[in-house]
């Protein structure tokens, strides 16, 4: 278990108090920041074609935050009103000793300071970690699966083994974890598999969320050739299924429908065809301590320097306050032939998927 070394500091004078007395972070547009996504590594055991080039250069390990530093920053955000932590990567479960971080952060669930601790994973390591995740208070997880065709899965991920991922899903459900499947819609690749994926996921009691390709990082090929607007997918699905709009929100950008014929939920994440920024309640911490206030903007705040400069949290908290004050209204993602280069040079695996 991680040792907790945070030294209490006097609270900054500009703290905003919620009606319950807990610290609350508001951005310049009045949105309460209650959700932190944390990338614990940029490394992954897959090389998905829409996420990375095959020959990726990863960060030197010395540049990464230690698990103790990750715990300290996450805890500072919990102290300031964050109610949900999502651990991401790269592939978070390939980081050495990662379960000690889950075990340490679980104390915030026990204290009531945190509502949810969760993880997004490619599923490759789930078979050996599912029981321990559940023991640490994780209730639900997101697993990325873009096809149920083993050969196509290998082509999309380059290195992935679908059988291993499906074994991980079995382990997760046997451990009592609620699973949501994330599927990136890829034109000409898996667009004909949406219906089978939906019925498979709902048949196993799992939600399915479809995601549009986002223009982050250099890849092998053009994203315009991968981009499939979910507006077209939804229209096609509506011709076969009864889709009932839901007001459900899980703290993320997905908009949900109930599929009457299966009884399951289907989510749509549409950063390209429908900007979801108006209700954004999240910020993202990279594995090197850079805090991105918006996935689609370059502005970031360095939290590693204040963490390493002092055992007190005063500098860290000041950096967090200043960063939230700079959160923009939204992103400016574009995918078309005139914008052949990615909107941002950094890969999704760096920012946290």
**Domain-located, residue 216:** no
- Give the residue carrying structure tokens 């096809």: 147
d(CA 17, CA 23): 5
Binding residues for GTP: 37, 86, 120, 180, 282-284
Question: Beta-strand (E) ranges in the chain?
Answer: 16-17, 23-24, 35-39, 84-88, 116-121, 140-144, 178-184, 207-211, 243-245, 255-259, 265-269, 282-285, 290-292, 300-302
Binding residues for S-adenosyl-L-methionine: 50, 90, 144, 214
Q: What's the structural domain count of the chain? A: 1
d(CA 78, CA 80): 5
CA angle 90, 96, 97 (to 5 degrees): 120
What is this structure's pTM? 0.83
**Domain-located, residue 79:** yes
**Domain-located, residue 299:** yes
**Domain-located, residue 235:** no
Range of the domain at 40: 23-181+279-351
**Domain-located, residue 318:** yes
**Domain-located, residue 193:** no
d(CA 102, CA 193): 34
Binding residues for [4Fe-4S] cluster: 44, 48, 51, 277, 280, 294
CA angle 34, 35, 39 (to 5 degrees): 150
Binding residues: 37, 44, 48, 50-51, 86, 90, 120, 144, 180, 214, 277, 280, 282-284, 294
**Domain-located, residue 241:** no
**Domain-located, residue 206:** no
CATH assignment at residue 163: 3.20.20.70
**pLDDT per residue rounded down to tens, the chain (353 residues):** 454 433 333 333 333 333 343 568 999 999 999 999 999 999 898 877 777 677 677 788 888 999 999 999 999 999 999 999 999 999 999 999 999 999 999 999 999 999 999 999 999 999 999 999 999 999 999 999 999 999 999 999 988 899 999 999 999 999 999 999 999 999 988 999 999 999 999 999 999 999 988 654 444 455 557 788 999 999 999 999 999 999 876 556 789 999 999 999 999 988 655 556 777 899 999 999 999 998 767 889 999 999 999 999 999 999 999 999 999 887 554 444 444 444 444 445 455 55
């Amino acid at each position: 278990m991680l040792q907790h070394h945070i030294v209490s500091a006097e609270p900054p004078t500009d703290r905003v108090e919620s009606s319950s007395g807990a610290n609350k972070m508001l951005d310049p547009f009045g949105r309460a920041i209650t959700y932190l996504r944390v990338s614990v590594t940029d490394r992954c055991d897959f090389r998905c074609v829409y996420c990375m080039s095959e020959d990726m250069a990863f960060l030197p390990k010395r540049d990464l935050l230690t698990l103790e530093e990750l715990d300290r920053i996450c805890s500072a955000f919990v102290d300031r009103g964050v109610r949900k932590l999502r651990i991401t990567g790269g592939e978070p479960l390939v980081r050495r000793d990662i379960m000690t971080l889950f075990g340490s952060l679980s104390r915030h669930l026990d204290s009531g300071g945190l509502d949810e601790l969760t993880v997004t994973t490619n599923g490759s390591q789930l078979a050996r970690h599912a029981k321990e995740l559940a023991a640490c208070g994780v209730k639900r997880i997101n697993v990325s699966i873009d096809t149920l065709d083993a050969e196509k899965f290998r082509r999309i991920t380059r290195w992935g083994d679908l059988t291993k991922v499906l074994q991980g899903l079995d382990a997760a459900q046997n451990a009592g974890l609620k699973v949501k499947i994330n599927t990136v819609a890829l034109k000409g690749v898996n667009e004909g598999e949406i219906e089978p994926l939906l019925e498979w996921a709902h048949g196993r009691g799992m939600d399915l969320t479809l995601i549009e390709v986002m223009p982050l990082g250099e890849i092998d090929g053009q994203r315009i050739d991968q981009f499939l607007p979910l507006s077209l997918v939804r229209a096609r699905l509506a011709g076969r299924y009864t889709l009932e709009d839901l007001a459900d929100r899980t703290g993320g950008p997905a908009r949900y429908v109930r599929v009457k014929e299966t009884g399951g939920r289907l989510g749509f994440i549409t950063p390209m065809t429908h900007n979801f920024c108006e209700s954004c309640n999240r910020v993202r911490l990279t594995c090197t301590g850079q805090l991105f206030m918006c996935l689609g903007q370059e502005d970031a705040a360095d939290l590693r320097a204040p963490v390493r400069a002092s055992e007190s949290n005063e500098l860290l908290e000041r950096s967090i306050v200043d960063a939230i004050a700079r959160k923009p209204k939204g992103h400016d993602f574009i995918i078309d032939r005139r914008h052949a280069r990615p909107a941002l040079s950094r890969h999704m695996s760096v920012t946290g998927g």
